[in-house]
Amino acid sequence: MSLHVDAGHVPSRAAPSRGRRHEHRNGPRRFLSWLDLRATPYMFVSPYFILFAIFGLFPLLFTLWVSLHKWQLAGEKTFIGLENYTKLLADEKFWNAVGNTVGIFLIATVPQLLIALLLANALNKKLRGRLFLRLGVLVPLITSVVAVAVVFTQLYGRDYGVVNWILSLFGVENVHWQNAKWSSWVAIATMVDWRWTGYNAIVYLAAMQTIPKDLYEAASIDGAGPRRQFWGITVPMLKPTIVFTVIVSTIGGFTLFAEPVMFGSGLMTGGTTGQFQTVAMFIVKKGFRDFEYGYAAAAAWVLFLLILLSALINFALVRGIGRSK
Amino acid sequence: MTTLTRTGRGPAVRPVKLDAFRATPLTRVALGFAIFLSIFPIYWMIIIATRSNEDAHSMPPPLLPGGNLGENVKAVFEAENAHFMTGIVNSLIIATTVTLAVVIISALAGFAFASLRFRGRNVLLLSIVLTMMVPLQQMGIVPLYQMMVTLGWTNTLKAVILPFLVNGFGVFMMTQYTQQAVPRELVEAARVDGASTLRIWFNVALPAVRPGMAVLAIQTFMLIWNEFMWPLIVLTPDNPTVQVALRALNDRYSTNYVLIFAGTTVSIIPLLLVFVFFGRQIIGGLMEGAVKA
């Protein structure tokens, strides 16, 4: 694999530049310390890069190779060029999965980051028991992902679910949350939000504490109220952190898997008509239930391109919003 | 009590009133509600785990613990086809091994990137940052599986462990941590005294970066404990991780709520312990990472 271990063009500053023979003359001890200076850094970074080459880079490139084949169970393969991709781009089920993934991502992430911002702002105020409050909003992080999905699936149960019971107090009839697109998306989005809103709030809080206090003092003197200060100072100052959380959420949102799987009784189909099948579920279904490896590999690459594209779009959007304020 | 103005001694040196940091009653109510929402699902899960199935179906939902916890947990471990005990043991082995390895690999590489000079340093560091953006485990899932089949490693713990040792985030984090915790002069001084690089790492850098390693360890453990997709694919149902065992439990006993909830309650115990003992460090680590990001 091309690790570029020696590819740097930076002239070395610390080590003597004359080469081995010269050093040798000064005795084996000098040579050993020269070797130590020169070689040890590579030894220190090599465990990571060796593992990366085998379990990161190789599978990534091999996915590309597999995606150009009709590759089925038992390793029978024929080269078919881009046929998997053309088939994929015409596959309604794939686009359905993409639509679900993007839909769930949007209705999960937008409210999540907004609430996290407001929550961080509240946590940043002078309050007693700050540590307790901060730990309180982080509690969801300790639950295992399958546990969250199982508990929320019960909360959204049709007949005995707490959510339907609360809605019934307002006269709403029992909702079968799995049945429709909108309801299943909302249910899955709340699972994601419940688990990650507090985490993002703490990340924002950390960044908020680095904003110089005199900015707020100056704004107060100018007569800006807390709300204007929040949108006029806090949010623009948090822009780099917001970009960071948006990118992390994008990767998480586009690879969403455990929640929708558990919501649909552990199956990869995502409901009777695939109303909440995500792209990750589509890949696992094609690759490991239908054993169409080549097709699944093509889907994995398209997923990656979608992540890149959406990270770029989000990045541009967030930058734009910050600027207009 | 909570406003800045009241702490001012007299009218002469009155500090500027910072409304932005004053907690209004609305703030308190909102925070209280947020924390209620955060805790309620877990609380409800634990309550149901201590009750019977009739209670689980009663409306309004029960809010106080019952006396069936021991019985329910016993049933989880005895549940046929779920292999819950195996799942817990497997997950502990996997999460511990990955955590130890990732922390050591990251501390070594982080030290090299932060404190040593070598050709290609910048290129290598950049490659790590770029690959942090790629969901490697999800994207490479097909070839990773084929690789494990070829090696005959499917259904072994090493098949689960090895791909998760690639953790670019860990190397990046330890590089940043080493940069601020280990002064360059200290490394140079030790070198002048004739210490080898390995010795400098072990005696100078390692003691200084221990807090960073602890934060990385906590985060890695939580991440791996929660891993679901890859173990689901590479392990067989009779040799699961705890998350896969939970899925089996949920599939086979879908109407037995107390059994499932007892299972999910048991599954969060290790993370609960981590949270209770290291909560402060988790917050500290998150906040530190965020400032640098």
Say if A315 is an interface residue toward chain B (CB within 8 Å): no
- A72: pLDDT strictly greater than 80: no
Closest CB to B196 among A14, A36, A221 = A36
The CATH number that domain A85-324 falls under is 1.10.3720.10
| Of the candidate ranges A128-137, B1-10, B50-59, B167-176, the one whose mean pLDDT is the lowest | B1-10
- Is there a contact between B226 and A237 (Cβ–Cβ < 8 Å)? no
Q: What is the pLDDT of residues A87-113, one digit of tens each?
A: 999 999 999 999 999 999 999 999 999
Residues B93 and B61 occupy one common structural domain? no
Residues B247 and B137 occupy one common structural domain? yes
pLDDT, average across residues B12-28:
67
DSSP characters over A16-59? -SS-HHHHHHT-HHHHHHHHHHHHHHHHHHHHHHHHHIIIIIHH
Residues B70 and B109 occupy one common structural domain? no
Residues B94 and B217 occupy one common structural domain? yes
Residues B71 and B90 occupy one common structural domain? no
What pLDDT was estimated at residue A49?
Answer: 95
Residues B31 and B95 occupy one common structural domain? no
Residues B70 and B198 occupy one common structural domain? no
pLDDT bracket for residue A33 (50, 70, 90): confident
- The answer to whether position B290 is within a domain reads no
- The answer to whether position B166 is within a domain reads yes
Classify residue B155 by its DSSP letter. T
Q: Residue A279: which of A110, A156, A104 has the closest Cα?
A: A104
Computed from CA positions of residues B225, B226, B229, B235, in that sequence, does the dihedral angle turn out positive or negative? positive
Nearest CA in chain B to A152: B41
Pick from B77, B102, B133: which residue ends a domain? Answer: B77
- Is there a contact between A194 and B36 (Cβ–Cβ < 8 Å)? no
- The answer to whether position B89 is within a domain reads yes
What pLDDT was estimated at residue A16?
Answer: 45
pLDDT bracket for residue A221 (50, 70, 90): confident
- B15: pLDDT strictly greater than 80: no
| CA dist., res. A60 & res. A77, Å (int) | 19
Contact A146 B131 (CB under 8 A): no
Residues B62 and B126 occupy one common structural domain? no
Q: What is the pLDDT of residues A223-261, one digit of tens each?
A: 888 888 888 888 888 888 888 888 888 888 998 998 999
Q: What was the ipTM of the complex prediction?
A: 0.83
pLDDT, average across residues A59-69:
88
| Of the candidate ranges B69-73, B204-208, B230-234, the one whose mean pLDDT is the lowest | B69-73
Q: Which stretches of B84-228 are DSSP H helices? A: 84-115, 121-131, 136-139, 141-151, 157-164, 168-181, 184-192, 197-200, 206-225
Residues B43 and B96 occupy one common structural domain? no
Say if B216 is an interface residue toward chain A (CB within 8 Å): no
Domains of chain B: total: 2
Residues B47 and B61 occupy one common structural domain? yes
Contact B138 A162 (CB under 8 A): no
What pLDDT was estimated at residue B3?
Answer: 41
Residues of chain A with CATH 1.10.3720.10: 85-324
Residues B202 and B111 occupy one common structural domain? yes
DSSP characters over A1-24? ----TT---SPPSSS-SS-HHHHH
Residues B42 and B152 occupy one common structural domain? no
Domain span at residue B44 reads 4-77
Closest CB to A280 among B113, B123, B138 = B138
- Is there a contact between B107 and B181 (Cβ–Cβ < 8 Å)? no
- B111: pLDDT strictly greater than 60: yes
| CA dist., res. B287 & res. B237, Å (int) | 39
> Helix (H, G, I), strand (E, B), or coil: what is residue A71?
strand
Cβ-based contacts under 8 A for chains A and B: 342
What's the CATH code of the domain at B238? 1.10.3720.10
CA distance A181 to chain B (A): 23
